[in-house]
Amino acid sequence: MRQQIKIVFEEDKPRRLDKYLSGLRIQELYSRSFVEKLIEQDRILVNQIPVKKSYLLEAGDEVFINLPEPEPHELEPQDIPLDIVYEDNDLAVINKPAGMIVHPGFGNPKDTLVNAMLFHFKDNLSSGRAADRPGIVHRLDSGTSGLMIIAKNDMAQSKLNDMFAHREVKKTYLAVCCGVPDEAEGTIITNIGRSISNPRKMCVSNQGRQAITHYKVLHYFDFFALLAVDLETGRMHQIRVHFDHLGHPLLGDLLYNTRARVHSIVPPNMKRKVSELLINHLRRQALHAWRLEFVHPISGKELDIHTPPPEDMLYTLSWLDSNFAIDKPSLNLEAILKEELQ
């Protein structure tokens, strides 16, 4: 099915159409040359009218992008290392690294989690929800690390789908937010929908679907906080959108946060050091899918699976403890997580 994307241009200053669309870094518009090709083919319209790539967008302009049918391609098994935390005959739980895309899409035909799964599990995967997503039950953003459940047969897939639909899988994330929430524990309830100005982003919107996020502050720093976050629903970018909505976006999140925004909350003498952290060590949102609790869909066994944050988040937490400890460095992550598991 051909996909159409609609964008409403909301910037004050006019922008060239081709440069603006390329700068949005939408996955489907994976290169500037592809954007130019779509414009030449009249697949990109402004206010329903074909235009040239040099057209200057003005506030209120509506851009319609009619994507061509994706070319069929055969999924390629690839020998990419997988961190398999749990496995039996029906399912596996994988610790996905940050930076890995879950399944192939526009501009990303390979080097995804699915390509790695096809190599490691071969034919022992469910058919999935779509032809290019064997074994996939739920997803994590590319920049989010942590635990994902993989279905190894269609019966497990069907039962897991129902469990997620009925909120019978408890997912707990670890996150670092900018600023400190007013309440030590809380629940965020809003509707979340797609942004009309940038299709890569989601936003709080009355037209969206209900999203419920529970959080607890695990450790306070000056200007930052380590959180445990439980999702009652599973909307796209839910945690990132909700904490941006609270005014406490996730550290390192290039889509919902900015370096200037981080600089605004720290002392002037720490701005350069924070920039060095984000450039050299934390190159993605500080978000890790830490824990999954669910009843095995076939055996009925209760499973509680957890995995520590990867090196970039551990370094970030240690760095925050050294530079922004409220009194003196005191973060004991192992003890904090052990207490949460009890």
The contacts of residue 272 (CB under 8 Å, 6+ apart) are: none
- State the SS3 of 85-140: EEECCCEEEEEECCCCCCCCECCECCCCHHHHHHHHHCCCCCCCCCCCCCCECCCC
Which residue has tokens 């999935």?
128
* Residue 209: Cβ-neighbour burial (10 angstroms; 0-12, 13-18, 19+): exposed
Least Cα distance to 65 among 94, 85, 36 occurs for 36
* Residue 269: Cβ-neighbour burial (10 angstroms; 0-12, 13-18, 19+): exposed
Q: Measured between alpha carbons, how far is 109 from 73 in angstroms, rounded to an integer?
A: 8
Active-site residue numbers? 141
- Tell me if 283 sits within 8 A of 310, measured CB to CB: no
Which residue has tokens 């190894």?
152
- Which amino acid belongs to residue 18? D
Other residues' Cβ atoms within 10 Å of the Cβ of residue 267: 11
